[in-house]
Amino acid sequence: MNMGRVRTSLQWAILFAVALVCARAQPSPPAPHDFEVLEKSILELQAAMHAGALTSRQLVELYLARIAAYDQPGPAINAMVATNPQALAAADALDLERRARGPRGPLHGIPIVVKDNYETVELPTTAGSIALATFHPKSDAFMIQRLKQAGAVVLGKTNMHELAMGITTVGSRFGQTRNPYDLDRNPGGSSGGTGAAVAANFAAAGMGSDTCGSIRSPSSHNNLFGLRGTQGLSSRTGIVPLSTTQDIGGPLARSITDLALMLDATVGVDPADPVTRASEGRIPKSYRDALRGDALKGARLGVIRSLFGTAPEDQEVTDLVNKWLATLKKAGAEPIDIVIPGLDDLLRDSSVIPAEAKFDLADYLARHPAAPIKSIGDILERGLYHVELEARFKTRNAVEKRDTDQYRRALVKRTATRHAVEAAMEENRVAALLYPTLRRRPARIGDSQGGINCLLSATSGLPALAVPAGFTDDGVPIGVDLLGGAFAEAELLSLGYAIEQATQPRRAPFSTPALVSGKAPRPKSWKTSLLLEDGGRSSVDWVYDPTTGGLSYSLEPSSAAQNDLLAIWIHRGGHVKSGAALHQIAGGNTPPRGVVNLSFSGRADLTSGQLHLRTYTARRPGGLEPVPLVLP
């Protein structure tokens, strides 16, 4: 028994109990509304606590206020499935410890969120499924234990694609998570709740898991950095499995430094997970301390063009990545196109998820006698699933045995793919391989997500770092994977750090802005008056909600205007030169009141004064004098 760990646990328990009593007896001062957590890094938050400008309790309260403002109301991101009822007491205990002995390290008192397939003492672990709504193991996953030992506060748990069997983050327990950059699009998956929550600044950073893209896809969709480590870098103990051969947990963050700090706290050998023995002696003392700002200078980056899309809908991402590569070249990198012989054949049918999912989940549930279900078959028989999962669940459940010829061929392909990748990297002398995380933009909610490039890392077991690579014309993020050699995470992170410095890729989503006195910004209301040629007047009452992009209107035309009116349109452009008609708000079958959901460019035009109204009448079908549409 590790007596040092026992003493630490006892000391923590005593501090936690004291903090709980103190919190009940005497509430601490409210969180300072003048401290803004939006886009703050872990080190900035730590510096504020060190300076006495902020406590961990107040920091928890500030993030809880953002969740209360944006997760269900307003943009209704639906990233959070539960907040931790013990988070404030944990923060109080950490504040007491800071005053008594100083911080444990950079994560001391820092709120984080975790995907709902990680076991947590304080909260159920549903894996996004109504079938597991009451499933509550009474222990923490290994990596959650490590985070708590580092002083992190588990603020809450995040939504995920049901049982991790998809990449759009929808499920029967908590429904659909929305992308905070475009509320009509998916946030990636299966760790989409963590991706959306971290992007929306609901916490400093978060934990996800990746079986085939489930960390990297949400990172790409949410303008984040995310790491799928070398198989064996981190423990799988206490994570609801999808495929034990391919499963791995890891962090998502808004910056490389934050990602490195989370990685420092979570990686390492777990005696209960034999695969982690491969990491022994191969992990640096600190990933954060190993970051190099000059890593891009002279770095050869192997661009795998076969993983770029060829369909018309893929061209947008290809163009953005090519533009991004040009920026890296100016910063000193040397991108070169390389070919991995036979890669398409190696990756085809290389996933072991179809063979393992049914059996690995059943084995996991068998270790938990109190689990409310025992198998995918139980879920199907009782109808405990979202309709979008039905076909996949049936396919998974139809597998009769794990050990088949197809499964053995997939395992052989895993080894062959790894050797082929390592040989190509050595032959071309490249520091990393590079390709789009997804070949096309995030799909709209309800549509299938195409273009996933998850297999190369998942099949080879080699690490891949998701890095933001820009935005589409309508403000949706896209990303790239940097894939490296076994346990080359430090080198990948340094490349990511240098890329971050060169490209400054982070942009906060429009839908979750800074709070105002602890609340979401109030919608803006105003009236526009339209003078018609017959002396009549029309007026439009407007309400604009900056957290949804919704522009509500209510038209009150005069009787004369009603008889003569053809249409009223919102146009792009200034007073002198009118641009295209964008949204009709009157005339024809258009109701006199409604909501226009402004696009990325529409929101920018409204805030910059580049929208106006034009009224069209029977006598003036070419339109009357345009009237500016100006926010108050």
CA distances 182 to 291, 502, 512, 594, Å, are 32, 26, 11, 20
7 pLDDT above the threshold of 80: no
Domain locations in the chain as residue ranges: 42-503, 524-628
When pLDDT is averaged across residues 189-199 and rounded to a whole number, the result is 99
Rounded to whole angstroms, the maximal C-alpha distance in the chain is 91
Q: Quote the Cα angle for 426-432-434, to 5°.
A: 125
3 pLDDT above the threshold of 50: no
The DSSP line for 186-219 is ---SSSHHHHHHHHTTSSSEEEEE-SSSTTHHHH
535 pLDDT above the threshold of 90: no
pTM exceeds cut of 0.85: yes
What SS3 state is found at 325? helix
Right CATH for 42-503 from 1.10.3720.10, 3.90.1300.10, 2.60.40.10, 3.40.50.450: 3.90.1300.10
Radius of gyration for the chain, computed over Cα atoms and rounded to the nearest angstrom: 26
CA distances 525 to 553, 570, 591, 603, Å, are 10, 17, 20, 15
Whether 190 is catalytic: yes
Tell me which of 115, 157, 358, 413 is the catalytic residue: 115
18 pLDDT above the threshold of 50: no
| Residue 331 tokens, joined | 């910063």
Give every CB contact of residue 60 below 8 A, 6+ residues apart in sequence: 87, 88, 91, 111, 153, 155
pLDDT one-digit tens code per residue, 566-610: 888 999 986 667 789 999 998 877 888 899 999 999 999 999 999
CA distances 305 to 31, 131, 343, Å, are 50, 42, 11
pLDDT one-digit tens code per residue, 223-244: 999 999 999 999 999 999 999 9
The DSSP line for 410-452 is HHHHHHHHHHHHHHHHHHHT-SEEEEESBSSPPPBTTS----B
Tell me which of 172, 190, 255, 511 is the catalytic residue: 190
**Residue-level pLDDT at 31:** 61
**Residue-level pLDDT at 251:** 98
Whether 214 is catalytic: yes
17 pLDDT above the threshold of 60: no
**Residue-level pLDDT at 29:** 61
When pLDDT is averaged across residues 533-548 and rounded to a whole number, the result is 85
pLDDT one-digit tens code per residue, 283-322: 999 999 999 999 999 999 999 999 999 999 999 999 999 9
443 pLDDT above the threshold of 90: yes
When pLDDT is averaged across residues 498-525 and rounded to a whole number, the result is 97
**Residue-level pLDDT at 429:** 98
Tell me which of 214, 217, 350, 511 is the catalytic residue: 214
pLDDT one-digit tens code per residue, 456-466: 999 999 999 99
Give every CB contact of residue 252 below 8 A, 6+ residues apart in sequence: 191, 194, 195, 198, 205, 206, 207, 208, 215, 218, 219, 222, 224, 225, 226, 259
Choose among 393, 450, 434, 472: nearest CA to 304: 434
**Residue-level pLDDT at 590:** 80
The DSSP line for 37-51 is -TT--HHHHHHHHHT
Q: Which of 8-12, 497-501, 595-599 has the weakest average pLDDT?
A: 8-12
In the numeric block, the tokens 């404030």 are attached to 88
When pLDDT is averaged across residues 360-385 and rounded to a whole number, the result is 98
Q: Quote the Cα angle for 78-79-84, to 5°.
A: 110
When pLDDT is averaged across residues 480-488 and rounded to a whole number, the result is 98
DSSP 132: G
How far apart are the C-alpha atoms of 539 and 568, rounded to whole Å?
11
